[in-house]
Structures are given as structure tokens and as C-alpha cells.
Structure 1
Amino acid sequence: MPVISRIVSMGLRACELGFAGVIAGIVGSQLHDHRSGDGMPLARFIYIEIVAGISLLLALLWLLPFAAGFAHWPVDIFLSFAWFAAFGLLVEWIGGSTCSGDTFSWSQIGIHSFCGRYRASEAFSFLSAIFWLLSALVGLWFIHREGRKRTTVVAPAGEGA
């Protein structure tokens, strides 16, 4: 069974790496285009770019076979919360932008415009938060299961109490 959990963990890490790369590219492009302006939207994009950079680094390190331990689930939870915060910042900012629609109305993702890129960064930040949370849950499940195996002691047959 540890093989299945390791394969699932590596799959989740690969997706986290891809999502962080996509978000880093989109938000980096938005930062490049947003050279002048007030500090508030720029601060949001800088925060998201930092979270994406940290996610890229950690997902890449933890994707390596020798670093496939499950003991780093607290960092996974922290990054999940950081991605949920990034998603919240993007959702909150949409009220002041020209992009219209519901929070989960991601129909403009394929359109090569500001709204399309914005919606794509919103969608991928939400997916990244979910995948980091799933990685934490897989790590917790694995640690809990292994801990239960080590503490269970079976008495030999024929010995009474």
C-alpha cells in the first residue's frame, strides 16, 4: 500500500508544480504589464508570485524520489492556506476590475485578454490550494497509518494474561 500512496503523492506534487508554474507565468506577465499604478493590486500580485515561487521550489524538491517522505504535511497545509488566501485576494479584487461574472465563472480562460489571464490565475490558484490540501491529507493519512502499525503489538499464540 505504501507504493500507491507514494504514486498518489508524486502525482499531486507534479500537478502542484505545474499549477505553480502556470500561475508564476501569468502573474509575472501581469506584473510586467502593471508597471505603473497604486500599491494595492501590485501587492496582491507580488504576494501571489512569492507563494508560487515557494510552491515551485518545494514541489520540485519533494518530487524527487529521495525526498518522498510524508512528514512535511504541516508545510502542505500552510501552503494550502497561502493559496486559499491568494485565491481570496483575486476574488476580492475582481469587484474593482472590468472583468464581470461570478467567482467560479471561468469561461474567459481561453481568451487572450487581461480578463482571460486573470480568470486563469484565479482558477489555477484555487486548484493549487486544493491539491496542496490533498497532499497534506495523504501525508496525514500515511503518517497515521504507519503510526498505528508500529503501536499495534500482537501477543504470541498460547500466552495468556
Structure 2
Amino acid sequence: MILVDIISIILRLAELAFATIVAALNGRFLHAARGNSPWDLGRHIYTEVVAGLSILFAIVWLFPFSSSFIHWPMDLVISVMWFVSFGLLVNWLHGVCGYVFDWDNVGFNGVGCGEWKATVAFAFLSAICWLVSALVGLYWVHRRTPAPVDAGYRRRRWYRSRF
């Protein structure tokens, strides 16, 4: 089970890194857009909150204790939250920068479409990492849960009759 622990640590580090990148890029946009209506910035505020929660939970659950695997339902919830954030950001771009997964027009100047596509990409990667982390936790819990034993009851084989 050491392999599961190593995979869990790698996933938590990736979740932490991806959430930090999304929080930084999205926070930069929110700082530049101050003075706008919070209603207009709702999807960005939601993404920032999801990134903050992801950073918090990734740090808390980074240590490979057995109790970190039983949080797979919360990993699944955070994964769904990241997928919602990804969808909201893709909907907000709605073709202004071209197709979302078209990386031909992305440069290193840090402004514009490249920054937004990076935010969308890291939100998607974070959602995938949280989903895989939930599946690893579910696998660990399933492997550790003993099967119930029913004493006194034996199932008849299908080929044996009662007579």
C-alpha cells in the first residue's frame, strides 16, 4: 500500500500547485477589475473561493495518514466544484480567444488570452487531480473494509438440488 501513499502525496502536491496557479492568475484579474460589480465578477469570485478551499484541503490532507484516504467524498465534491469553475470560465471566454483548447495564439507576455487559457487549463487539471484522488481514496477504503461474515448460513451451489 506504499504505492497508494506515494500516489496520494503526488496528487496532493499537484492539487496544491494547480490551485495556487489558478488563485494567482484569477486573483490578478480580480485585482485589475476592482470597482466592477460583484455580480459581474461572480464566476471569478467562485473560482477564487474554490481555489482557496483547494489550497487549504490539499495542505491539510497532504500528509499520508490513513485518515487522509477516508475524505474521498470531499475530494469528489471539490472535483465537481472545479469542473463547475472550469465550465464557468469557458463560458465566460465564449470564443473571444478562439477555441479553448487551441494553444496556437498563446505567448509568454502574460496578458490576455494566454493567461485566461492557462487559468482554464489549470482549473481542468485540478478537477482531474481531485477526481483521481477521490478514486484512489475510494480504492483504499474498499481494500481496507473487511467483507461481512454471516455465520451459520451456507449458500447452496446452483447445481445441487434440495432432494
| TM-score of Structure 1 vs Structure 2, range by shorter chain | 0.7 to 0.9
Structure 1 length-normalised TM: 0.84
If the length of structure 2 is used for normalisation, what is the TM-score?
0.83
Moved more, 102-111 or 50-59: 102-111
Structure 2 residue aligned with 1:136: 134
DSSP 3-state at the match of 1:86? helix
- Asked if 1:104 is matched to 2:101, the reply is yes
Q: Structure 2 residue aligned with 1:115, among 96, 103, 113?
A: 113
Over the matched positions of the two proteins, sequence identity in percent amounts to 45
Deviation, structure 1 residue 64: 2.1
Indicate conservation of the 8 Å contact 2:43/2:88, yes or no. Answer: yes
Amino acid at match of 2:147: T
Aligned-residue RMSD, C-alpha: 1.9
Counterpart of 2:34 in 1: which secondary structure? coil
The structural deviation recorded for 1:104 is 1.4
1:42-61 mapped onto 2 (5 Å cutoff): 42-61=41-60
Q: 2:10 and 2:29 mapped to 1: Cα distance?
A: 29
Alignment partner, residue 81 of structure 2: 82
Shift of 1:143: 0.8
After TM superposition, list the pairs within 5 Å mapping 1:25-36 onto structure 2: 25-36=24-35
What stretches of structure 1 move > 4 A for 4+ residues in a row?
none
Report if the CA contact (8 A) 2:8-2:64 is conserved. no
Unaligned residue ranges in structure 1 (runs of 5+): 154-161
Is the 2:22–2:51 contact (alpha carbons within 8 Å) kept by the matching residues of 1?
A: yes
> 142, 145, 148: which is aligned to 2:143?
145
Structure 2 unaligned residues grouped into runs of 5+ = 150-163
Q: How far apart in 2 are the matches of 1:129 and 1:73?
A: 14
Is the partner of 1:110 in helix, strand or coil? Answer: coil
**Secondary structure class of the residue paired with 2:98:** coil
Could you say if the C-alpha distance between residues 109 and 85 of structure 1 is closer, same or farther in structure 2, counting changes exceeding 3 Å?
A: farther
Amino acid at match of 1:46: I
Q: Do 1:41 and 1:93's aligned partners in 2 also have CA atoms closer than 8 Å?
A: no
Amino acid in structure 1 at the alignment position of 2:28:
S
What's 1:156 paired with? none
Offset at 1:131?
A: 0.4
Deviation readout 1:44-64 (Å, 9 max, x if unpaired):
111000000000000001002
The one-letter amino acid paired with 2:100 is T
